[in-house]
Amino acid sequence: MLSRRRFAAQCSGALFGLASAGAWAASTRGTVLVVGDSLSAEYGIARGSGWVALLEQRLQAQGLRYGVVNASISGDTTAGGRARLAPLLSMHRPSHLIIELGGNDALRGMPLAHTRENLVAMVRAGKAAGTRPLLVGMQLPPNYGASYGRQFAALFEEVASAERVPVVPFLLAAFATRPDAESWFQPDRIHPLAKAHPLMLDTVWPVLKRML
């Protein structure tokens, strides 16, 4: 059995912990939930060096009281994101939702109509849960065919326009079309190196900041 003094000390510690948690919650304006694929899940780079982790650091540095939840999974598709979105919204109750999915749909040759339907469903689910969704788009290498590539790249802006939500057209825009583009990617030429992730954040940041 606990002595009275030890019991009182534990109660005091617990109350302090609850007070601290309450103060943190009171000081937090909202939560940014990121549902993405390997580009957001820090594939092939050190933990804490991806653009989502850098986003959390920037929010803190600028005194913007938002938490960040990274629910990204390497290899995920829009169908996978759609299937797991409802529990994520229920659990985290985010104020903002960043949807960074679609690239793996194209790599697997999924119909564009399928990707569009899933993105629309995710945006609408986010709205229904009281979040402010942001779509983050992707583009494909030329070897996937010019016509398919154009249609895929346009899909994100089409969905954003139809659903009246903000969009970042191309997450890798800052370096993917540079003459030295290869030097910004891992050997698979798909996943960016850690040095590219600050540029990815800089691409998302102007649009996201206006939403906060």
Q: Does the pLDDT of residue 81 top 70, yes or no?
A: yes
For position 127, what pLDDT does the model report? 98
Q: Does the pLDDT of residue 12 top 70, yes or no?
A: no
For position 27, what pLDDT does the model report? 60
Q: What's the mean pLDDT in 58-67?
A: 96
Q: Does the pLDDT of residue 14 top 80, yes or no?
A: no
Catalytic pick among 49, 74, 92, 191: 191
The confidence band for 142, taking pLDDT boundaries of 50, 70 and 90, is confident
Q: SS3 for 152?
A: helix
The confidence band for 144, taking pLDDT boundaries of 50, 70 and 90, is confident
Is 96 an annotated catalytic residue? no
Catalytic pick among 3, 27, 147, 188: 188
Q: Does the pLDDT of residue 26 top 60, yes or no?
A: no
For position 10, what pLDDT does the model report? 39
Is 49 an annotated catalytic residue? no
Cα 63–chain centre separation: 20
Catalytic pick among 37, 38, 96, 105: 38
Instruction: State pTM to two decimals.
Output: 0.87
Going from the C-alpha of 90 to that of each of 86, 129, 195, the distances in angstroms are: 6, 8, 34
For residue 47 the two structure tokens come to 């933990």
Give residue-wise pLDDT tens across range 161-176. Answer: 999 999 999 999 999 9
Is 76 an annotated catalytic residue? no
Instruction: Tell which wins on pLDDT, 9 or 71.
Output: 71
Contact 135, 123 (CB under 8 A): yes
Q: Does the pLDDT of residue 139 top 90, yes or no?
A: yes
The confidence band for 50, taking pLDDT boundaries of 50, 70 and 90, is very high
What is the per-residue DSSP string for 125-137? Answer: HHHHTT-EEEEE-
Crossing angle of helices 78-92/112-128, nearest 10°?
10
